[in-house]
Structure 1
Amino acid sequence: MPHPARGTVTLHDVAAEAGVSLATASRVLGGSSRTVAAGLRERVRAAAERLRYTADASARAMRRMSDSLALIADDLTTPSMAVVVSAMEREASTAGAFVTVSATRGDPERQLETIHRVRALRPRALVLTSGRVSADALAGRLLAELRAYEHDGGRVVIVGDTDLPFHSVGFDNLGAARVLGRHVAEKGHRRVAIIAGARQAAQSARTTGFVDGLRTGGVEESAVRIVHCEVSREGGFDAARRLAAEGLDGTDAILAANDLIAVGVLRALREAGVMVPRDVSLTGFDDTRLAVNVTPRLTTVALPLAYAGTEAIRLALGEPDAVTHVTVEGRLVVRDSVR
């Protein structure tokens, strides 16, 4: 399918707009190691932004979008993201497109820089996968960069919580976590620790849902302890080891923000001589392969991760139409780790 061309903006145009020499503009936008005064640097970058200039290295001679799809994710090392990316690649291949992947660690500045660089490759669509993407991020600069890419003929899809005016695929983390929290409470648990991961939107929604579900099931909010950690096995291990060292103080259940953290928690408890679920119940979230490859198998929430990845690519490659927001729900999976 043909894509709209954009007018060619050259480095000469940017230099003229900024009122600087061509050499200065080239040093600022071409990654030169030579130092340029801060004032001149800002003028060149502002001019480039106004003119929507990108250093179009691989597509300078092209006048239409390529058949690539750019995926920009927070973290490519988690099992859940592996499922999403795999589904995206399968769906893209059916349309004759291929996926390029970049990681930003969820840092808005890195997201902005990556989007700007990816625009130079003129991908057909850009899929931004992140725990939370806000319209006011970086004082609106992230939104402006995405709008400029869309103006050039690209399609933007967000996977995750967002208020941006683009196609999106989100997860009902709040509702799914509420169901899991209530299940744990209804099994008779009354003192609960939540290993909440980092202070990000996805984990925050899950934490809120856990607490709501526990309260609905009869747990006093004062009996719920929230611990933040790195979103990794090591993060879960360190958080649980600290809990065990301090004394669990009657804690009879631990709810982890995802399966990866839960596996780290399980190891730390085992090393401390605390048995799951005999002494403490444990739950995960996402239902990745990790959940069934440990002993005991984890009670968790299954999110349709592959469906989310597939749906994101369908939106990216679909016909132009009204902005679509898709929300996918989780499903409680009861296994062996809850007493």
Structure 2
Amino acid sequence: MPHPRRSVTLHDVAADAGVSLATASRVLGGSSRPVAPEYRDRVLAAAARLRYAADASARAMRTGSDALALVADDLTTPSIAIVVAAMERQARTRGAFVTVSATHCDPQRQLETIRQLRALRPRALVLTSGRIDADALSGRLLAELLAYQQSGGRVVIVGDTDLPFHSISFDNHRAAREIGRHIARTGHRRVAILAGEPEQAAISARTAGFIEGLGAETEVRVVHCEVSRQGGFKAAQGLVTDDLDAIMAANDLMAVGALSALRTAGVAVPADLSLTGFDDIGLAVNVTPRLTTVALPLAYAGMEAIRLALQDPGAVTHVKVEGQLMIRDSTRATA
């Protein structure tokens, strides 16, 4: 049985050409340092003779790569999928590509992931999270990102942050306040809010905005649940016997789950009860009735993150984008 062929190394090329390892590395690694034509010809001839192929991953470790590393909380949500798809499209137009890692909102996992990615020297790190704080893990996360930046990398954050890096954030509170005002203006006075999990900063900001927009005259019940379609379904199941005239969900997935639970229980939307979501994912217009919701510019945020990641160094830029109220069929004015 034939033995597998041993990979030819840079050491082999240098020995065959009769030059130092450093000289062979300069010729084959694309160094800007000059090499005498005689030595360059000898190295190239030896490389061709030995069929040497440069190790791209090792070169990336030394010089960096065209990869942009995205570190996201949860890759299973439709809103993140929109952001990532926009990032990939924008990166391709610039000759770069995007790698993706999920950290499930865990700061320790964020730190470990960033440390592992730093070893591969991506051109930029893009973090998407509801909130990233400077004091997370006693400042270790910030220290890791600063070290990466000082070594030549670029950091961009999609989400709320007080870190000294480029950022694109969503004005969740303001947009939620607007949809809350709409529900109050249309006569709803007994409202339940599907508020997701309280540790998620973006969801919490939306809940606070809902409450402010609804005003003091509205009786509000806040229900925490899993931020998913199933979480919305279970939460709404527990509300069908309550005397409500509206349910407001902190994202569209929970709203779609709630819609299913209400339909199963024989509660008509919006004839018996109005329902709203947040994000304006594809499902929002593909359910019946179509969801009243807030449209966030998710694709724009993804494209802007890549633009900031690849632009020439300059002053740190903080971009805050606003949502747009989309009034559709799942809400109506009360009698």
Classify the TM-score, shorter chain: 0.7 to 0.9
Query: Are residues 1:71 and 2:73 paired?
Result: no
Whichever residue aligns with residue 217 of structure 2, its letter is V
Q: Which runs of 5+ in 2 are unaligned?
A: 1-55
Structure number with bigger Rg: 2
Contact 1:133 1:162 in 2 (8 A): yes
- Asked if residue 229 in structure 1 is aligned to residue 225 in structure 2, the reply is yes
TM-superposed deviation, 1:58: 3.6
Partner of 1:123: 122
SS in 2 for 1:70: strand
Q: Distance in 2 between matches of 1:219 and 1:166?
A: 41
2:270 corresponds in structure 1 to 277
Q: Deviations over 1:269-303 (max 9, x none)?
A: 11111111111100000111110010000000010
Structure 1, unaligned runs of 5 or more: 1-56
Deviant stretches of 4+, over 4 Å: none
1:178 alignment partner in structure 2:
177
| Percent identical residues | 74
Query: Could you tell me the TM-score, scaled by structure 2's length?
Result: 0.81
RMSD of aligned alpha carbons: 1.2
- Deviation per CA, 1:35-68: give whole Å up to 9, x if none: xxxxxxxxxxxxxxxxxxxxxx943774322100
What is the TM-score normalised by the length of structure 1? 0.80
- Which amino acid letter does the alignment assign opposite residue 322 of structure 1? A
Matched, 1:296 2:294: no
Alignment check: 8 A CA contact 2:131 2:201 kept: yes
Matching residue's letter, 2:230: E
Q: Specify which of 285, 297, 305 is matched with residue 298 of structure 2.
A: 305
CA contact (8 A) 1:58 1:120 kept: no
Q: 1:197 aligns to what SS in structure 2?
A: coil
SS, match of residue 165 in structure 1 = coil
Residue 93 (structure 2) aligns with: 94
1:121-270 alignment to 2 at 5 Å? Answer: 121-199=120-198, 200-215=200-215, 219-220=217-218, 223-244=219-240, 247-248=241-242, 250-270=243-263
Q: CA deviation at 1:189?
A: 0.2
Q: Shift of the alpha carbon at 1:180?
A: 0.2
Kept in 2, the 8 Å contact 1:73–1:129? The answer is yes
Change (3 A) 1:61 1:98: closer
Aligned counterpart, 2:53: none
What is the SS of the residue equivalent to 2:239?
helix
Pair 1:319 & 2:315 matched: no
Give the conservation status (yes or no) of the 8 Å contact 1:128–1:159. yes
CA contact (8 A) 1:174 1:209 kept: yes
Partner letter of residue 294 of structure 2?
V
Q: Distance in 1 between matches of 2:297 and 2:81?
A: 13
Shift of 1:219: 2.9
Equivalenced residue count is: 276
Measure the CA separation in 1 of the matches of 2:119 and 2:230.
Answer: 37
Cα distance in 2 for partners of 1:118, 1:238 equals 38
> What whole-Å deviation, never above 9, does each CA across 1:194-220 have from its counterpart, x for those lacking one?
0011111100110010001000xx633
